[in-house]
Amino acid sequence: MDTTFYKEIGKLKNSEDLVLGNLRLVVYFAKKYQGMGLSLEDLIHEGTIGLCRARDKYDPTKGKFSTYSAQWIKATIRQALNNKSRMIRVPAHRTHLTEESPKVCQLDTSYQGSYISQVEIKHEEDHMELQISSLLNKLKLKQKEIIKMKFGIGYEEEMKTTDIAKALGLTVQAVNGNIRNALKLMQTT
């Protein structure tokens, strides 16, 4: 008899046990992302896909499976939320901006499917610019410049915190502190 056949069955049984033993972890993370655009059932399904990916790529010499699989579960749930829950798909490298940035302003969505004219779009853009500039005017000059650099307001693209620190001659910690304080101030007003 071929012993490799039994070894393969043993591996399959162990990998099945890994998945079944960590399904509660999937439910735990799915509940954390509930209410963000997908049903709990869909979130659990996506988390299970992440758990299976983690099982396939897991190396037991690197640490606990639950710690390793948590990263895969969260990543696949976030990816599913990004791809399936929004009307307009945002590239993955841009989603952190919408998750971390405050809700500075929102477009009026009361049009209910009717066509929006160019004049209405221009009006909304002007309104948003006024809201943003009024929020920025409440900040100190240094905070205002840091926020503009961080989110690319008046610049060609967003800047990394380290680049902002170099440009302004500050430490990264000082830049992060200014960003944190400015966002808190903008959210409270």
Kindly state whether residue 113 falls inside one of the protein's structural domains: no
Angle, to 10 degrees, between the axis of helix 141-151 and the axis of helix 161-168?
140
**Residue 43 pLDDT > 70:** yes
CA neighbor of 90 nearest in space, from 79, 100, 102, 101: 79
The tens digit of pLDDT for each residue in 132-157 reads: 888 888 888 899 899 888 888 877 78
Q: What is the pLDDT of residues 154-180, one digit of tens each?
A: 777 888 999 999 999 999 999 999 989
Please spell the DSSP secondary structure of 25-80, one letter per residue.
HHHHHHHHTTTSSS-HHHHHHHHHHHHHHHHHH--GGGS-HHHHHHHHHHHHHHHH
Same domain? 78 vs 135: no
Structural domain boundaries enclosing 91: 3-100
Looking at the fold, whether 34 and 91 belong to one and the same domain comes out as yes
Assigned token pair, 77 = 């749930």
For the entire predicted model, the pTM comes to: 0.45
In a domain, 162, yes or no: yes
Residue 110 domain-assigned?
no
Number of domains, the chain: 2
Domain boundary among 70, 100, 130: 100
CA distance 167 to 181: 20
The answer to whether residues 96 and 166 belong to one domain is no
pLDDT digits (tens, 9 = 90+) for 51-104: 888 888 888 787 888 888 899 999 999 888 877 765 555 565 555 544 444 444
Same domain, 86 and 125: no
122 with 73, same domain: the answer is: no
Check: CB of residue 77 under 8 Å from CB of residue 29.
yes
Q: Please indicate, yes or no, if residue 71 is contained in any of the structural domains.
A: yes
> Helices 40-57 and 65-84, interaxial angle, to 10°?
130
* 164 and 91 in a common domain: no
Any domain includes 109: no
48 falls within a domain? yes
94 and 7 both lie in a single domain: yes
Asked whether the predicted pLDDT for residue 28 surpasses 90, the reply is yes
Same domain, 126 and 87: no
pLDDT of 107 reads 47
